[in-house]
Amino acid sequence: MHNIKLKIEYDGTEYVGWQFQPNGKNIQNEIEKCLKQILQEEITLIGAGRTDSGVHARGQVANFKTNKTIDLKKIQNSLNSLLPDDIKILDVQEVSLDFHSRYSAKSRFYTYYISTYPTALFRNFSWYLKYDLNFELLNECCKLVLGTHDFEGFSKLDENNEHYLSNVYISRWIFRKRFLKYQIEANRFLYGMVRGLVGSMIDVARGHMTLDDFIAVLDKKDRTKAGQFAPARGLFLENIKY
């Protein structure tokens, strides 16, 4: 038995997310179909991050098991020749049999991109905001997120969650001339958590919420006091640490 690890990049614009949904095509199935064609067997791919519809990835990780001995470089080239242009396999490795792309992960790192000017080239990869923002308030919000908190108020309902605790190691805004980006690394992420945080931070920075409102959502886990969910198109899964 061999355990094969893939590092994957994709543009999530045309997909309903990483895993199966009844209403459209998903990343996982596209790769599984190609693996079945190459290996001539049914393959189940396990992804590290279950990205939502429209979310992109530069460093998604997935693994699958097979009894066949394979040439890793040949598998990578074959997959990239069969996959659509918006999905690419960046690396293929054989790993220990106990490696699990999701449960072996120590942390995940996401970036959210915001453009401050209308752009045709990056319209599918950023959230365009045309109003003024208070950068000091953005920084205040992102500092509050650091450490272990219950993020139920900033996430979407997920009946599979036993709890809503996450330990955030990095939470920072980076300001450029025409772009802002929010970077966050944590041991685990809840459904919609990054988009919920970004949307509420932006609402604080534009005066639609107060900093006290943001703190109340974090402390009291009250979703009704939270802001909007940022659009999926600005979110990138950057890296998984093991």
Model confidence band, residue 43 (pLDDT cutoffs 50, 70, 90): very high
With 0.75 as the threshold, say if the pTM is over it: yes
The full 3-state SS of the chain, as one line of letters, equals: CEEEEEEEEECHHHCCECCCECCECCHHHHHHHHHHHHHCCCCCCEECCCCECCCEEEEEEEEEEECCCCCHHHHHHHHHHHCCCCEEEEEEEEECCCCCCCCCCCEEEEEEEEECCCCCCCCCCCEECCCCCCHHHHHHHHHHHCEEEECHHHCCCCCCCCCCEEEEEEEEEEECCCEEEEEEEECCCCCCHHHHHHHHHHHHHCCCCCHHHHHHHHHHCCHHHCCCCCCHHHEEEEEEEC
Q: What is the pLDDT of residues 172-186, one digit of tens each?
A: 999 988 899 999 999
Q: What is the pLDDT of residues 213-230, one digit of tens each?
A: 999 999 987 777 888 999
Provide the residue ranges of all domains of the chain, joining segments of one domain with +. Answer: 2-95, 107-241
- 2-95 and 107-241: same fold? yes
**Domain 2-95 sits in CATH 3.30.70.580:** yes
**Domain at 107-241, CATH from 3.30.70.660, 3.40.50.2000, 3.40.570.10, 3.10.28.10:** 3.30.70.660
Maximum CA pair distance of the chain? 59
- Average pLDDT for the chain: 94
Place of tokens 């929010």: 182
pLDDT for 194 equals 97
Model confidence band, residue 170 (pLDDT cutoffs 50, 70, 90): very high
pLDDT for 161 equals 67
C-beta separation of 51 from 18 below 8 A:
yes
Model confidence band, residue 159 (pLDDT cutoffs 50, 70, 90): low
Catalytic residues: 52
